[in-house]
């Protein structure tokens, strides 16, 4: 049997981790796998590190994910690319499902759900992205 080499093994390990991450997100948060397709685990970890120092800029209240809230998130994503969203105390619903829905409606990537805070990433569509993701 031939040796796969360190690059091939690393690739398979990364792919296996990506599949496990998708399954975990689906089981834990109800997030559809399509939301997780474009980011590697390394990129997701990098974005979580950047989001650590951010404050939530959009808050979802008791009315839920209205069109006004979604358009505010889209506008903020165009400006900042990485956004924290706070689900207020008046928000009634599953946080993981809300994260998946927001990500789908905004065509963004759900990076993290911690408590009542969601982190979304979407590269800027007009112009060059300001966040350079690792490979």
* Tens-digit pLDDT profile for residues 96-108: 888 989 999 999 9
CA distances from 21 to 24, 44, 111 (A): 5, 11, 11
Across 38-64, average pLDDT: 90
* Tens-digit pLDDT profile for residues 52-86: 999 999 999 888 888 999 999 999 998 899 999 99
3-state secondary structure of 119: strand
| Residue 33: per-residue pLDDT | 41
């Amino acid at each position: 049997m031939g040796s796969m080499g360190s690059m091939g093994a690393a690739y398979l390990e990364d792919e296996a981790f990506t599949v496990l991450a998708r399954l975990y997100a689906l089981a834990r948060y109800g997030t559809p796998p399509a939301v997780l397709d474009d980011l590697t685990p390394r990129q997701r970890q990098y974005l979580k590190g950047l989001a650590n120092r951010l404050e939530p800029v959009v808050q979802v209240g008791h009315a839920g994910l209205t069109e006004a809230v979604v358009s505010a998130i889209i506008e903020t994503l165009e400006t900042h690319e990485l956004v924290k969203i706070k689900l207020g105390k008046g928000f009634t619903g599953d946080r993981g499902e809300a994260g998946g829905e927001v990500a789908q409606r905004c065509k963004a990537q759900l990076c993290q759900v911690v408590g009542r805070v969601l982190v979304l990433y979407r590269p800027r569509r007009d112009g060059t992205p300001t966040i350079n993701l690792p490979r």
